[in-house]
Amino acid sequence: MNPLELARARPGPAFTVTFDGRPVEALPGQTIAAVLWAAGVTAWRTTRGEGRPRGVFCGIGVCFDCLVTVNGRTGQRACLVPARPGDVIGTQEGTGRAD
């Protein structure tokens, strides 16, 4: 049994976002982090100095490890930003700025 069945949740119809050019299914109300986790993606940012992979660490918007680029905007916290139909999500390298 999956979590939706256990909670008797009835989300609206699924929609598609893209992550690094690949289509990914999302459900209304999911954060970008939840969408990526559900798709099997656990890292979507690299560290500034050594390029090490990062994803969700705290899950509540405090640590900034889950930064992602959404629709061309860098520095978006994947654990806080709700996914919207047609979002274009990309791996963020370092701070997302040319520094």
Question: Given pLDDT bands bounded at 50, 70 and 90, which one contains residue 92?
Answer: very high
Q: Distance between CA atoms of 56 and 12, rounded to whole angstroms?
A: 25
State the SS3 of 21-81: CEEEEECCCCEHHHHHHHCCCCCCEECCCCCCEECCCCCCCCCCCCEEEECCEEEEECCCC
For the stretch 11-36, pLDDT in tens is 789 999 999 999 999 999 999 999 99
Query: What domains appear along the chain, each with residue ranges and CATH number?
Result: 11-93 (3.10.20.440)
- Residue 7: per-residue pLDDT: 75
